[in-house]
Amino acid sequence: MSINDFELTSEDSGSSTGQTNDNLWYKEKIREVTAEGNLKIPTDEVWGYWKVLNSEEYFERLFLDIDQAEKITNETVANHYEEIKRYLERWRERESTGISFAQTHGGYSVTELAGKLNEAYAELKGKRSREEYINAYLRRRKNKSLKSLDPVIKAVLADKVLTYEEKMMVYEAGVKLGLNITETDRYLQEEMVREGDIRDVSSSGNTVKSAENSTATASYKDDERLTIEDLKDSGMIEEYLEGGGKLTGEAWVEFYKKIRQSFAITGISELKKLTEEKGIKQENETGEKRAASRTKSVLEMVFVKGGIFLMGSTNGEYNEEPVHVVTVSDFMIGKYEVTQELWKSLMGNNPSWFTGDDNLPVERVSWYDAVEFCNKLSEKEGLQKVYCVSGDEIKMDTNANGYRLPTEAEWEYAAKGGSKSKGYKY
């Protein structure tokens, strides 16, 4: 046996009994064997992984990892097949001496498990048939993942309105299931059509998805209730928020029931949107007051309400991360780029190439220069420094109340418009 071989005994595989296919307890060892070496099975004892022969997936029956299919050759398949076959043939010989195979193999006979092994080998021994099997497997796996989105989609469409935040929630669930944004969005659109009469307000336009797969402008039924504008002016939402109310879970339903008796509001999603707008306005005002009180410099700060967004671009560079869902907490950011005037007042120099107007943004600044600037601005205003510089080492104190550089996610979120974004790339 070479140094790349793995001998899989009952000692390193765990008990050979008491496990089920559903546990998938053998997957890690399959990945390890496929990646690092050849399969070697002891023939003089019970193989702790014999239950792979009952797997629904043919690759697993041959102790191969389908996710590494690109490196699996016809020779690899044949080697694994012959190794498992030898194990079964050895046990067939032992049965002739009175040793029971079924007693130590869950009641299965050698013939039954050999049949499952041969079935898998016949399908995977050739490259073309192996590729066809992989494609069918990937379709099954994707369909299973899409079906797992059903509870999430059902929840966000319960009030017949799809908001931007709810769409991001579906996207995030899809990413966790291994789906890309395009697949998730296509499935969401199909479910909206199937559900019928869904108003999509996740982008700038308000549209209705009907079961007939048509799109129409949203309209409101005339009744005797007061309008949405009346609700905005009523002060009921502000009163709730000022009282410290937080609408989560069933509280949304109760608040909606109370509101809809008097106001022509179409659903919980619309109420959430109105409440969020009021809440953001209050937080903005609070944030602006906080920004004004903490600094007398010309650096104007604005409050950014956190949320979920799609980070990246579908047409980015080849070496960039794919589009993915990111959650950002509330933060404050400079309303404008740092001016040359502010930079000179703190740093005592102006590295910019384009000069002549102190209101121009400072440029030709390194990351280390920016860190030093943040610390000096914090020091000037009596705040705690965020960055601790020791030689070439820089540590960040996340509990400090001073200035820091925005993270890449924060910068992109702010540049896209934060929670108010309509899906623009910049």
How far apart (Å, rounded) are the C-alpha atoms in residues 260 and 262?
5
Average confidence (pLDDT) over 229-244:
63
The mean per-residue pLDDT over the stretch 308-329 comes to 64
Give residue 43's pLDDT. 72
- 10, 192, 285 from 244: Cα distances, Å: 60, 35, 16
Q: What is the pLDDT of residues 201-230, one digit of tens each?
A: 876 444 445 454 444 333 333 445 667 676
Angle (nearest 5°) at CA 223 between 219 and 225: 110
pLDDT confidence band for 305 (50 / 70 / 90): confident
Of residues 296 and 167, more confidence is placed in 167
pTM flag (> 0.85): no
CA distance 33 to 47: 15
* Confidence grade of residue 183 (pLDDT, cut at 50, 70, 90): confident
411 — phi, psi (to 5°)? -65, -45
Q: Is the dihedral of CA 270, 271, 276, 281 positive or negative?
A: positive
Question: Band of the pLDDT at 260, cuts 50, 70, 90?
Answer: low
| Mean pLDDT of all residues in 392-411 | 90
pLDDT tens digits for range 357-369: 988 999 999 999 9
Is pLDDT above 70 for 146?
A: yes
In this prediction, residue 52 carries a pLDDT of 93
Question: Do residues 133 and 56 make contact, with C-beta atoms less than 8 angstroms apart?
Answer: no
The pLDDT of residue 88 is 95
Q: Each residue of 265-276: pLDDT tens digit?
A: 666 666 667 766
CA dihedral sign, ordered 161, 164, 165, 168:
positive
pLDDT at 78: 94
Q: How confident is the model at residue 372 (pLDDT cuts 50, 70, 90)?
A: very high
Between 333 and 298, the higher pLDDT residue: 333
Name which of 74-83, 268-277, 325-334, 369-378 the model is least confident about.
268-277
Please give the Cα distance from 132 to 301 (Å, whole number): 57
pLDDT band at 20 (very low <50, low <70, confident <90, very high): very low
Q: Return the higher-pLDDT residue of 20 and 340.
A: 340
Per-residue model confidence (pLDDT) at position 262: 67
DSSP secondary structure, 306-350, as one string: -EEEEES-TT--TTSPPPEEEEE--EEEESSPPBHHHHHHHHS--
Q: Which residues contact 132 (CB under 8 A, 6 or more apart)?
A: none
Answer whether residue 327 shows pLDDT above 50.
Answer: yes
Q: H helices of 19-57, where?
A: 27-36
And the tokens for 142? Answer: 């994707």
> Which pLDDT value is given to residue 391?
81
**pLDDT surpasses 80 at 163:** yes
The pLDDT, as a whole number, for residue 89 is 94
pLDDT at residue 421 tops 90: no
What the block records as the tokens of 265 is 């509001």
Among 240-244, 287-291, 326-330, 346-350, which is the least confidently predicted range? 287-291
pLDDT at residue 338 in the model = 93
What does the pLDDT read at residue 6? Answer: 36
